[in-house]
Amino acid sequence: METRELICVTCPMGCRITVEMEEGKVLSVSGNSCPRGEAYARQECIQPMRILTSTVRIENGIHRVLPVITEKEIPLEKMEAAMAEVREVTVNAPVEVNDVILEDIAGTGVNLIASRSMQKI
């Protein structure tokens, strides 16, 4: 049996959670103060998820790069492939906040969107 210690990042309480696992399956979760902590711990142990934030190149914009973010979390294991796609992107100004920059990033079904507007020079 494997025991994993996590700190829940779902809210500022930061509960210390203990997860007991065997053969990739969660046997028990303890230390959480609410159900959201258990859900977080199970997800983190089975398939950790993260929001990707980065920048892409932008032409004719008031800055040289545009901040971007995934619409929701993507599997941590897809992060490297997603970043490889991000590095290939160049957009043209103007861009509005929430414009889709890249659809279905790394085959996750999640879109990469602009996290701010950028005017044309």
Determine contact, residues 66/38, Cβ cutoff 8 Å: no
* Token digits of residue 73: 């979390």
**Closest approach of Cβ 8 to ligand SF4, in Å?**
3
String of DSSP letters for 21-81? EETTEEEEEES-SSHHHHHHHHHHHHS-EE--EEEEEEESBSSSEEEEEESS-EEGGGHHH
Q: CB-wise, 15 or 101, nearer to ligand SF4?
A: 15
**Closest approach of Cβ 28 to ligand SF4, in Å?**
15
Near ligand SF4 in 31-50, by CB under 6 A: 32-34, 36-37
**Nearest alpha carbon to residue 87 among 68, 73, 74, 72:** 68
Coil, strand or helix: which one is 116?
A: coil
Near ligand SF4 in 56-85, by CB under 6 A: none
Q: Which stretch binds ligand SF4 (CB under 6 A): 27-35, 54-62, 72-80, 113-121?
A: 27-35
Tell whether residue 15 is a contact of ligand SF4 (CB under 6 A).
Answer: yes
Which residues form the interface with ligand SF4 (CB under 6 A)? Answer: 8, 10-11, 13-15, 32-34, 36-37
